[in-house]
């Protein structure tokens, strides 16, 4: 058996932890996982060496035939985007960026102002995505914004994904800068075309950001950094939902990753209305969608959970007084590496995680509203319909290291207090106890069947009833 083993190493350079996963792609099976603090400020190889040392203690010495990595180290892939109309091209730019695994710091609409220019200069992103206008439509806005960017200067690359009639003009305006031209994210009114932009973002990430983040030395040990970590998670979710040519997937799903600073939500579903009489409002939703709630996190963004849910409701969920809940929130906010240490802090942590899940899934899901018009009552859907999704994947420390994962996850389901929300009604909760989702997304690039088999085996079914 050991003779036929084919061990592959998968590395996730996270902002806080470097996580390593060893799999045997011949079996296929998970051999072991380990993590260590990411040492991006000094030499990222130190954290990697520590993690590999911990892994070897679990698995014994392995001769890895292949090594692959993803990264969100040093804050991930920081992007800014500008478009023409807030709810159209600017929103399309944001959708494309999030879908490529980027962290969108801000999107701008219409012509960039002096204040916008100062803010862009201060934020100094990794990539700027310049869009605006349908093909053959408005060229004035995107060319004006290109001139503003040229005036600001900076060393970050600019990706042009707007009106194709203006693309070369924008490239000339930005002469001397690294510029990438790709297809328009919105070639026609209301039509999204985000995949070419996502591919371009990923290419820029691979060719440039890896060096900027201090990962180039680590690249010598591996086949290379393949993608941003959120892209790896999206690849895993797509694989798990759809399956491979030889193995079925599990169908439509929603996934929640509650972190210390942000909460990421993924959905793989068409999300169309159940009732054919329902009309759709806004841009079409991507089949695979990612949203990032930058104000919702268990430590760095703990105040965002309180602002969204209310201290009274969080305290009630925890079974604590508002005063005591407030004290614990203050303590967690001041000590971002603090773990729950007694019954009260555990209850508080779980309540915060529950409301983080509810807030983030509610923002990700669409809404169904009754609108009175000339013809009487009409139903209008905005966003994605997730009501019939029946698989709910959870990851992130606060959901993994607790006995009440199912109960916390259930806060992401439909609730009668908010009947217009199109959140899932009833789901099987699957838990990523060993933090392998990003690793399996990486593995799926080369060994999709092995990755899917391991995902199905490792995601544990969490039973929960009221």
Q: Are residues 126 and 35 in the same domain?
A: no
Q: Are residues 287 and 340 in the same domain?
A: yes
Kindly report the average pLDDT of the chain as a whole number.
Answer: 87
The mean pLDDT of 449-459, rounded to a whole number, is 94
For the beta carbon of residue 45, count every other beta carbon within 10 angstroms: 17
Question: pLDDT digit string (tens) for 109-144?
Answer: 889 999 999 999 999 998 899 998 888 888 999 999
The mean pLDDT of 134-160, rounded to a whole number, is 92
pTM of the model as a whole: 0.83
Strands in 103-109's sheet, in edge-to-edge order, are: 103-109, 78-83, 127-130, 158-160, 179-181
Nearest Cα to 223, choosing from 11, 30, 47, 39?
11
Structure tokens at 205: 């990430």
Question: What integer pLDDT is reported at residue 2 of this predicted model?
Answer: 47
DSSP 86: I
Q: Are residues 92 and 48 in the same domain?
A: no
Residue 436 has pLDDT above 60, yes or no: yes
Q: Are residues 269 and 364 in the same domain?
A: yes
The mean pLDDT of 360-384, rounded to a whole number, is 87
Nearest Cα to 10, choosing from 2, 19, 56, 47?
19
Whether 228 is in a domain gets the answer: no
Q: Are residues 107 and 194 in the same domain?
A: yes
Question: What integer pLDDT is reported at residue 208 of this predicted model?
Answer: 66
Residue 463 has pLDDT above 60, yes or no: no
Residue 466 has pLDDT above 50, yes or no: no
The band of 301, judged by pLDDT with boundaries at 50, 70 and 90, is confident
Which residue range forms the structural domain that includes residue 48? 2-74+213-223
Q: Are residues 447 and 331 in the same domain?
A: yes
Whether 345 is in a domain gets the answer: yes
Question: pLDDT digit string (tens) for 317-370?
Answer: 999 999 999 999 999 999 888 889 999 999 999 999 999 999 999 999 999 998
Q: Are residues 367 and 384 in the same domain?
A: yes
Q: Are residues 20 and 167 in the same domain?
A: no
Question: pLDDT digit string (tens) for 39-77?
Answer: 655 666 777 888 889 999 999 999 888 888 887 755 567
The band of 217, judged by pLDDT with boundaries at 50, 70 and 90, is low
Residue 392 has pLDDT above 60, yes or no: yes
Question: What integer pLDDT is reported at residue 448 of this predicted model?
Answer: 96
Give the CATH number for residue 119: 3.40.50.280
Q: Are residues 38 and 179 in the same domain?
A: no
Residue 11 has pLDDT above 50, yes or no: yes
Q: Are residues 400 and 318 in the same domain?
A: yes
For tokens 């950094």, name the residue: 225
Around 65, how many Cα atoms within 13 Å sit in the side-chain half-sphere? 10
Question: What integer pLDDT is reported at residue 253 of this predicted model?
Answer: 96
Q: Count how many domains the chain has.
A: 3
Range from 58-72, 197-211, 297-311 carrying the lowest mean pLDDT: 197-211
The band of 214, judged by pLDDT with boundaries at 50, 70 and 90, is low
The mean pLDDT of 265-280, rounded to a whole number, is 90
The band of 12, judged by pLDDT with boundaries at 50, 70 and 90, is confident
Exposed (0-12), middle (13-18) or buried (19+): which is 323, by Cβ within 10 Å? exposed
Of all residues in the chain, what percent carry a pLDDT higher than 90? 50
């Amino acid at each position: 058996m050991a003779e036929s083993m084919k061990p592959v190493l998968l590395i996730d350079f996270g902002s806080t932890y470097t996580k390593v996963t060893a799999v045997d792609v011949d079996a296929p099976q998970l051999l072991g996982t380990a993590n260590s603090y990411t040492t991006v400020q000094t030499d990222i190889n130190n954290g990697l060496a520590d993690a590999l040392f911990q892994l070897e203690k679990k698995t014994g010495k392995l001769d890895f035939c292949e090594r692959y990595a993803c990264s969100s180290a040093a804050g991930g892939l920081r992007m800014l985007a500008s478009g023409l109309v807030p709810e159209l091209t600017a929103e399309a730019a944001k959708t494309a960026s999030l879908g490529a695994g980027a962290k969108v710091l801000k999107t701008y609409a219409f012509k960039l102002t002096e204040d916008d220019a100062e803010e862009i200069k201060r934020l100094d992103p990794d990539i700027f995505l310049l869009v605006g206008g349908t093909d053959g439509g408005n060229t004035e806005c995107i060319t004006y914004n290109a001139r503003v960017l040229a005036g600001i200067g900076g060393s970050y690359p600019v990706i042009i994904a707007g009106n194709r009639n203006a693309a070369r003009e924008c490239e000339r305006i930005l002469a001397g800068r690294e510029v990438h031209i790709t297809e328009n994210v919105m070639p026609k009114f209301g039509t999204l075309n985000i995949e070419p932009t996502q591919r371009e973002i990923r290419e820029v990430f691979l060719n440039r950001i890896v060096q900027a983040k201090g990962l180039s030395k680590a690249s010598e040990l591996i086949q290379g950094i393949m993608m941003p970590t959120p892209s790896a998670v999206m690849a895993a979710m797509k694989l798990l939902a759809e399956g491979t040519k030889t193995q079925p997937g599990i169908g439509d799903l929603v996934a929640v990753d509650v972190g210390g600073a942000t909460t990421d939500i993924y959905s793989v579903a068409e999300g169309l209305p159940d009732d054919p009489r329902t009309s759709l409002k806004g841009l079409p939703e991507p089949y695979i969608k990612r949203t990032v709630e930058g104000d919702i996190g268990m430590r760095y963004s703990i105040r965002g959970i309180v602002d969204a849910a209310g201290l009274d409701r969080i305290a009630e969920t925890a079974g604590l007084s508002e005063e005591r809940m407030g004290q614990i929130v203050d303590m967690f906010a001041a000590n971002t590496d603090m773990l729950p240490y007694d019954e009260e802090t555990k209850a508080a942590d779980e309540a915060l995680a529950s409301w983080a899940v509810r807030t983030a899934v509610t923002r990700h899901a669409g809404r169904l509203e009754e609108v009175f018009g000339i013809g009487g009552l009409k139903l209008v859907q905005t966003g994605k319909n997730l009501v019939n999704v029946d698989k709910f994947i959870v990851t992130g420390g606060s959901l993994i290291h607790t006995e009440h994962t199912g109960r916390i996850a259930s806060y992401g389901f439909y609730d009668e207090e908010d009947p217009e929300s199109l959140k899932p009604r009833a789901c099987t909760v699957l838990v990523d106890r060993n933090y392998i989702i990003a690793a399996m997304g990486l593995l799926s690039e080369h060994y999709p069947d092995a990755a899917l088999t391991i995902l199905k085996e490792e995601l544990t079914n969490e039973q929960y009833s009221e």
